[in-house]
Structure 1
Amino acid sequence: MIDLRRLLVLLAMSATILATEGRAQVTIDEEEEIISALLDKTVPVEKCPINQQVYSALDGEYQKFQFLTGTAGGTVQFSEYRNGKLAWTAAGEFGCSNGVVICGIDLTVKAGEAISVGYEEFRTLDGEQYIVFSHLRETAFRRELNGVGGEGLKVELKNGFKPTADDVLIPVNVYRYSNCKK
């Protein structure tokens, strides 16, 4: 059975993608993600291994966050999609003391300086799981501003993406669990 709330959220996501990118339709990948969620094939976060959990940004920017390796420490990746295609990825490392008591990530800005920020995982009363990075966007922007220019994180550009002089390649601070990557 399709959850009406989920349907409305997915329709809003599609509308946001289209409106912010000035496109007439979503891509096949976006369509498949929406259809998969509508058919309720998403694995609950508690049944998804940490290195298969995919988190999506909430603020209209089409960004994703993933733990790639490890459970209490390992590698992470941020990614951003533009015009329906992967534009860039940024790699980093995460670690937690005493299992999962205090957790943080380490990333590098374009100027070569390392930044470290803490993060918290929490679940709402209705079961949605979030990851909130403490001042990640602000810290990366401030460090880069004092570096060589406003280019944001050290990233790997994908699919021929070329940032403009005004582009600041920085992840957002809040992500919500969206699916379990197979």
Structure 2
Amino acid sequence: MSRVYWLTGLSGAGKTTIGRLWYEELKRTGEAAVFLDGDELRQVFGGQMGYTLEDRRKAAMNYARLCALLSRQGLTVICCTISMFDSVRAWNRENIPGYVEIYIKASIETLRRRDQKGLYSAGKQNVAGVDFQVELPKAPDLILENDGQNTPEEQVEILYSTY
């Protein structure tokens, strides 16, 4: 059975790093898998999506529907996205068989320290979790605490032993 692994968390939490390693592990074992990342998906959709709350909601639903489509075709999907809306995650649970929600949790202090994209220290505006509240997952299937206590490879080992 194909699955959709929906990795969610704030920017810089480690979604893409962990998700890409998880994808590589699944491919290594022969799984028919595809990797989707929110930043890359924004490029694929040609910059049609903005950063208002409504734009973000539409983008998240586009990602969810794409994941459902790919899953129905027998692919295992790893989707890494901030996914800040309970309604989108609820839609996923109702409409995607094999949906697995993984919350990559990191403290704001860790996010500011990492700040790979310069979102937390450069005075950028419209930053999820800083300038406006995010609906954090209330009942994810798995929480990976990612404040540096485990390497990304160790986080993938947790995923592999769980799924």
TM-score, normalisation: structure 1: 0.25
Task: Pick the structure with more helix per residue.
Answer: 2
**Larger relative contact order, structure 1 or 2 (CA cutoff 8 Å, min sep 6):** 2
